[in-house]
Every structure is written in structure tokens, then in C-alpha cells.
Structure 1
Amino acid sequence: MTFFHWRGLGAALVLVMAALGAHAAPAWTAAWAAAPQNFDALPQMPGVPAAPKWMVQGTVRQVLTVALEGDRVRVRFSNRFGQRPLRIAAATVALGTGGGNLSPGTLQPLRMGGRTAFEVPAGQEQWTDGAALAVRAGQPVVVSFSLAESVPATVVHRLPPDGGWTAPGDQTDAAQLKDARRKPWNLFVTGLDVRPPRPANVVVAFGDSITEGSGAESGAEAARYPQRLGVRLQGVEGRTPVAVINAGIGGNRLLADVTGPSGLSRFDADVLRQSGATHVLVLIGINDIGFGTFQGKVLPGFHPPDAQALTAGLQQLVDRARARGLKVLLGTLLPFEGSGYWSEANEARREAVNRWIRGRQDVAVVDFDAALRDPADARRLAARYDSGDHLHPNAAGTAAMAQVADVPLLRE
């Protein structure tokens, strides 16, 4: 009897220790991510010849600002839109020291399956192995990789002004690149995870250019509302750490492809598959309403969706997120009178969508509209929040968005 008693106790201790070990070593957690677009599918201006393919060779270096602390990192390389394997000859990660420079003492090689040279098959995304690099929230991390051959720039995302460079040859170990050219695009890197010291929440901000950051100090990363929200949620002693990941794409529509895949088609990859995702904050639909409108009239060949189609699309996102256990927040669409998108009919669609959002009882509502509208004219952005195009908030507007989005649910 005594033997079986201690045997049972031993099993219980094993379970307790396993639970403690799991708590002490949290799983990989998203600390930075970007929602990619297919460069070859970006829309062209009417009457402007299509741009030739952008061929990339040599070294690519990108500066990513991480949203969580951790002692190890891994990087996701994406070939989602590629037609042939993406062959990486070498890759490194290090702490940034400003511009495109890195700290040599922190430089670590990136491997995939133990190999320093690796490839990502066409249509796939793959993670590197973990690398020992201690990072803090808000710290710049430099990812460098050299290409084994010249490849077309397929998987891209627009970066802040000082975000990316290309340089000849293999300069992945260089503290400072030689003969570098600054690029406004992120290339092939769509995620950076960390191993945090304790479990954290991951909030994915999903949307269009208002989420991505257009209008906020020329797109400076720190001025974007998801980044501002992340800063508000950081460093609160005794509370669960929170990372806010920006999954916005400028010009993105919920129901149809235009600049990037539609919100419906990219939601799984850009939200549900983010490592450790716990929450999603959705703000999308204004491009569906306004696309094809000019001076108050819908151009020939354009058929904007009605409010019912938009709310049905938003409901799909809610259902898919909740099925994966994510907590859902819906943002109301901002006012836009005075912009090129605006018309009486489009305003009626926006108001109908916002009524539907505000009427929800099963999700959290973030009322961006109420926070940023002009008190004297609810159909316009308040002047102090208007970037000048009457559609995108300025830096003060994104700060106001972060304030209204800072709700207790994000820490639960």
C-alpha cells in the first residue's frame, strides 16, 4: 500500500514540475510581424506603364522593433507569393545600434534545421531555429540575409523610412553595410518571435492603412496606433506582458483583393497563425466602401458592397477568431467626409456598419469613430486629429486611437 501511495505521489510531483516548467519556459511568442503583399500584384496608376520586376540580390538588411523581451529569437522567412524556392546563403540577427548598423558583440547566425544555408519552398513560410539573443521591448533588432541568387521581390511589406537596405555581396556579418541602398520595403521576413521570461498576450491589430500607419508622421513606426498601444501596455509591474503586432496593409479591403490579399483571405495567415496570438483588434472596411468613388460619384465598373455584405464579412472574422480561442475587439470605422472616398451613400454605409458593431454584445467594441470625430460634425475627423487628407489620422490621432483601445480585456 505504501509503495502505491508514493508511486502516486511521484506521478503527481512529475505533473506539478511539468506544469512549473511549462510556466517557466513559455512557448515562442510573436514580438514583431508584418502582413505581406505580392509586389508583382500591387496596383498600377492609370495610364502608367507597369513597373518591371524588382530583382533582388546580395544582402538584405532590415531593422525590426520588437514588442516583447526574451532571451532567444527566431525569424520567419516567407515565400508565400514566390514561384520558385527562396534560397538563403547566410543569415544573421543582432541588436541594432542606429540606422542599418548592428552591434558585433551580439551577432548570431540564423540556421534552419541546423543549416546556415537554407531554402524556403515556393508558397511556404518557415521559421529559423532559435538563436541566443537577449532583447527588450522597444529595442531594434537587425536581421540580415544574403541571397544565393538573384530573385524577384515577391513577398514585401512597406517599412518605416529607415527600415531596410540592400547591399552587394554577403555582408550579413558587417557592423555597417558598404555601398548600401535604402529601401522602403521589407523583403521576405514576416515575423520575429521571442522566448519571453513569462507568458504574454499577443494582440494582433488587423486592418488597412489606418492600422499600418499612413498619415502618422510619414509612417514613422513609433507613431502608428498599434505601436503606441503596445507602449501603453508595456512595463506594468505584476500584469501580464502584452505585445501588439501590426498586421495592417495600406489600401487593404475586407472583401476583395487590391493592395494585398483581401482581409478575409489573409486573416488566417496574418492573425490566427501568429505565435501565441490571444487577441485580435479588427479595423477594416473603409476601402471597401470608398474604393472607386471620385468626387462623390462611383466610377463606371465599380460596385461597392453594401453594409450587409461588410458586416457579414466582419462576422466571418469574428467567428474564425473565436473558433481559435482569440478574444475579439471590433473598431468602428472613422469619419471621412472631405476625402476622395466620401459621398452621401458611402457615409450611410459607414454609419450602418458602425451601428452593427456598436450593437454587438459578444465582442469588445473600440469606438474609434466617437473618439476622433469632430464634435461639431460627426461625419468628419476632428481637425486636431486629421493628417490633412480627411481620411487618415495624424500622430495626435493615432495617440487618441491608442488611448481608446487601451481596454482591460487586452490584459486578460
Structure 2
Amino acid sequence: MKLGSHWLSVLRQGVLRHAVAAVGFLLLAAAVAVQAVQPTARPRQPAEAQWVAGWAAAPMDFRELSANPLFTAAAPRPGGDAFRGQTVRQRFEPALGGERVRVRFSNRFGKTPLRVAAASVARSTGGGAISPSTLRVLRFGGRGSVVVAPGAEVFSDGVDLKIEAGQAVVASAFFDRAVPFATVHLQAPDASWVAGGNAIAAATLPDAAPLALNHIVTGLDVMTSQPTRAVVAFGDSITAGGGEAGDGSYPDLLATRLRNSSATAQPVSVLNAGIGGNRLLVDGIGPNGLSRFARDALGQAGVTHVIVLLGTNDIGRSVFVGLPGRPTPEHEVATAQRITDGLQQLVKQARAKGVKILIGTVPPFKNTPYWSETSEAMRGEVNRWIRSRQDVDGVIDFDAILRNPADPMTLNPLYDNGDHLHPNKAGHAAMAAAVDLRELQE
């Protein structure tokens, strides 16, 4: 059985949009030390001040993505698979405002040391352009450059930069040595550019070329001295924002709803850790949910809550098991028991960290290649288990919100983006509205 061109196009869109040793010891030690050092010129912060994640992306291994035929056919990579003497600039929108920030540079999937020769952060004036008066050159333990060990991540020193929640920020990094593509993410499509030379201070990148993927910069933290909640939305393309071009993801719409709510007693940062095509149990497009939960969700600075919505791809891909030419190892065969056991592990991990966890039911997907009577039965069993949970802080019934009243196994036509799997803008808005804001304040 082969997927038709329509379904390949849908899956391809999901991937692109959403849908990445003495020397080693010293480098890792340096990375740890960098995060602990504060600029000496900065007055000491009040005791209650803390870093809280204002924006974050779930990274993936570029090599795994490039091996995926759907990705390879649709992601041209100008200049090859490495940066050489170039500046990379990325635009993103933090969900939390403040007056002091730091930026995370990741080499999580790198096999060689990553040297950041120079870096900066500034407020965006649109696209990849910046406001020169807001430009801040970043330092690392007081130095202008840093080497990030393979598998490690490094935060810059904090810099004074006033930003508002929802206001676009731009981070730039210059690589004076060859940097192979390694750690990437898909959260903000059409939001990264590359240009020759050291252009971290340029108001507009000269002769900039767009990048199909976002590289290396995976987070921005904001320093705050007031009580703040940080909510991580953890899931697949339905969380990441799979659907029509221009649709906001439900985490983005939830962040806007929280900012506009008079009932919100304190700031709440909403972080999107969704990966299009991601599965709970098995690696594929991105590391499996069980393996990445500790870093992508629980590892965010100041995290207080996690919303989990995973299982669609585990259940849906079960219909391909046993097809000719598609051998599947026994341990990769999804069952309702394995999925619920996996979700239970996430609950235990969150509890151990003192983080509150809410779980969403799996939305319907009839009339897609994922659907069969068997996969529908599996979805029903998983959702019954989720609805019965007494050991979580909340259940969000996305299934009930998104399903068609006339045929509960299908998406409501009002919320269907056309592929019968992903919600449209109205669907994402309905998902955001289904979240009880009081649960995120506790």
C-alpha cells in the first residue's frame, strides 16, 4: 500500500512547518561554567530574581531529517550542509516580557565542537531586520565567543534588553569556522536567514538567503522577579501547528488568550515543544516523546506546567505494520497498552520534578491514511484511559472539542483544514479555548 501524492504532500508540509575524551571533558566543563558566570559589570540581582523560559523550540537531528525522503524532496539547502564564514539570523516571538534576556545555543545533535565566534540579540523591525538601538552583543562568561561541546547547550550571559510578550526578537550568530548542520528545529518557518561574513550588527543582512530550517538557537530566557508560570505544550504537529499556512498554533493562541485575560493574576509563558510527525514511543521525525520529555519540557527554565498531546502518530502508523516492504520490529508496534504506559511515564517524570501535568485526548482522524477500525479502537481505548486519570492535574478533552457531532470519528468540518487530520485556525482557537486558565495559575 502506498500513500498518494496528496497524502505525501500533507505529510511533507507537516514536517516542514512543524511537522531536528579529554578535549570533550574540557569543552563540557567550559559549557557548564559559562552558564554559571554573570557579567561582572552588572549589579547583583535581587535574591528572588530568576530566569524563566520566554521562548523555546524542540530541536531535531538534521541527519535524521535529511534521510527522510519527504524532507529531502522539499527542503533545498543553499550553500551545502554547513555554515562557513557566515552569519545566521533567526526571528522568534517570546511569550514573556522583561528587561533582561539570555539566548540558548545548542549543539545537542552535533558530532564536533560548535564555535560561535560572535553573537547578538535585538528587537525585530520585520523579517530579519533589527532596530540598531536595541542591538546587544552577547558574551559567554565575559568572552565574545564560545565553543559548545557535542551534545551540549550553552546560554549567553544576560543582557539588558526590554521586550514585550509577543514582540519579535532576532538572534544572530557568526561562525568563522565550518559548522556542519546538526541541531535544527521547525517551529518558526520562514524565519531564518544566512549571509556572508560577520553581520551580527547589521540592521539588515546583506544579500541574505532564506533557510528552510532554523539552526542552533533554541531558546530565550527572561529574568523576572515576580511570580511567573511557564507552560510547555508538548506534542506532535497538532501542537506544533500543522495545518494551513499562516494558522497560529494552539499554544500561540493560548499565550494570547492568557495575555488578554483579566483573570490572569500573574504572567504566564507558553512554550511550544511540538514536533510535526513526532511519536511518543518510537524515534522518527525527532526523538521519541519519552526520550525528549526531560529536556524539551521539564528542562525549560522555570517550568511549572506541561500539556501533553501525543499518540496520534503512534496510533495512526500502526495501520502500516505488516505491509509488504515495511517490516516493523516488534518493539515498535504500538498498542493502547504501550501508549498509556508511555503517558504514565511522562506523568511520573513530571511529578518527580514537581511540575503539574495536563493530558489531552487524541483527536479523531477518520478519512485519513491513518484510519482503520483497529486504529479507531486503539484511539478510543487510549482516550478512555486519559479521561479516567486521577493522578494528573487536568484532562483537556481535545477529542470532544474537535470531533464532528454528526460523526464523532471525524474532525468537525468547521475545524478541519482539509486533510481531516490537522485543525484549521478555528480548530486551534477552539483548542486554546478548551484550556482552563485557572489550572495554569495554580
Could you tell me the TM-score, scaled by structure 1's length? 0.90
Provide closer, same or farther for how the CA distance between residues 298 and 383 of structure 1 changes in structure 2, counting only shifts above 3 A.
farther
233-242 vs 115-124, greater mean Cα deviation: 233-242
Percent identity over paired residues: 52
Mapping 1:42-57, distance limit 5 Å: 42=65, 43-45=67-69, 54-57=81-84
In the TM superposition, residue 118 of structure 1 has moved relative to its aligned partner by 1.1
Query: Taking structure 1 as reference, are residues 298 and 242 closer, same or farther at Cα in structure 2, changes over 3 Å only?
Result: farther
Counterpart of 2:250 (choices 225, 236, 244) is 225
The within-5 A match list for 1:138-217 is 138-215=166-243, 217=244
Q: In 1, distance between residues paired with 2:223 and 2:302? A: 11
Change (3 A) 1:274 1:51: same
Partner letter of residue 309 of structure 1? R
Residue 366 of structure 1 is matched in structure 2 by 396
Return the letter of the residue paired with 2:91: V
Aligned to 1:409: 439
Contact 1:334 1:372 in 2 (8 A): yes
Match of 2:4 in 1: none
Aligned letter for 1:343?
A: S
Offset of residue 160 of structure 1 = 3.0
Q: Distance in 1 between matches of 2:402 and 2:424?
A: 11
Q: Is the 8 A contact 1:289 1:304 kept in 2?
A: no
Give the distance between the partners of 1:64 and 1:105, measured in 2 at CA. 19
Correspondences of 1:293-308 after superposition (within 5 Å): 293=319, 300-302=326-328, 304-308=333-337
Q: Structure 1: how far apart are the matches of 2:245 and 2:422?
A: 11
In the alignment, structure 1 residue 122 sits paired with structure 2 residue 150: yes
Q: Provide the C-alpha distance between the structure 2 equivalents of 1:62 and 1:240, rounded to a whole number of angstroms.
A: 29
Shift of 1:55: 1.4
Kept in 1, the 8 Å contact 2:411–2:420? The answer is: yes
Q: Is the 8 A contact 1:204 1:245 kept in 2?
A: yes
Q: 2: CA distance between counterparts of 1:275 and 1:318?
A: 19
The equivalent position to 2:423 in structure 1, one of 374, 385, 393, is: 393
Aligned 1:39-118 pairs, distance under 5 A? 39-42=62-65, 43-45=67-69, 54-57=81-84, 58-118=86-146
Name the amino acid aligned to 1:391.
Answer: L
Query: 2:226 & 2:294 partners in 1: Cα distance?
Result: 26
The separation in 1 between residues aligned to 2:142 and 2:106, in whole angstroms, is 18
Amino acid at match of 1:290: G
Aligned match of 2:338 = 309
Mark the CA change 1:239 to 1:47 in structure 2 (over 3 Å): closer, same or farther. closer
Question: 1:230–1:30: structure 2 CA closer, same or farther, 3 Å change rule?
Answer: same
1:273 to 293, 299, 317: 299
Question: Which stretch shifts more, 228-237 or 177-186?
Answer: 228-237
For structure 2, the residue ranges without an aligned partner over 5 or more in a row are: 1-44
1:292 & 1:152 partners in 2: Cα distance? 35
Query: Comparing 400-409 with 348-357, which one deviates more in the overlay?
Result: 400-409
CA distance in 2, matches of 1:375, 1:236: 29
Letter in 1 for 2:369: G
Task: Say which SS state the counterpart of residue 195 (structure 1) adopts.
Answer: strand
The match for 1:250 among 273, 276, 283 is 276
CA contact (8 A) 1:235 1:241 kept: no
Q: Determine the C-alpha separation between the residues in 2 that align with 1:158 and 1:62.
A: 12
Following the alignment from structure 2 to structure 1, what is the Cα–Cα distance between the partners of residues 72 and 83? 23
Flag the 1:243–1:46 CA change in 2: closer, same or farther, 3 A. Answer: closer
Number of residues of Structure 1 aligned to a counterpart in Structure 2? 387
Cα gap change, 1:260 to 1:328, in 2 (>3 Å):
same
* Structure 1 residue 323 corresponds to structure 2 residue 349: no
Q: Spell out, residue by residue over 1:351-372, the C-alpha distance to the aligned partner (whole angstroms, 9 max, x if none).
A: 1000000001121100000001
Q: 2:92 touches 2:188 (CA, 8 Å); kept in 1?
A: no
Measured in 2, the distance between the counterparts of 1:114 and 1:395 equals 44
Offset, 1:182: 1.0
Deviation per residue, 1:181-239 (Å, 9 max, x gap) = 11131100111000135121000000011111110x3255xx11001001111154570
**Closer, same or farther in 2 for the Cα pair 1:90/1:166, shift >3 Å?**
same
1:33 maps onto 2:60 in alignment: no
Q: C-alpha distance in 2, partners of 1:90/1:407?
A: 41
Preserved CA contact (<8 Å) 2:368 2:421: yes
CA RMSD of superposed structures (Å): 2.1
Aligned equivalents of 1:262, 1:105: Cα separation in 2:
42
Q: Structure 1 47/60 Cα, relative in aligned 2: closer, same or farther at 3 Å?
A: closer
In the alignment, which residue of structure 2 is the partner of 1:8? Answer: none
Between the aligned partners of 2:76 and 2:137, the Cα distance in structure 1 is 35
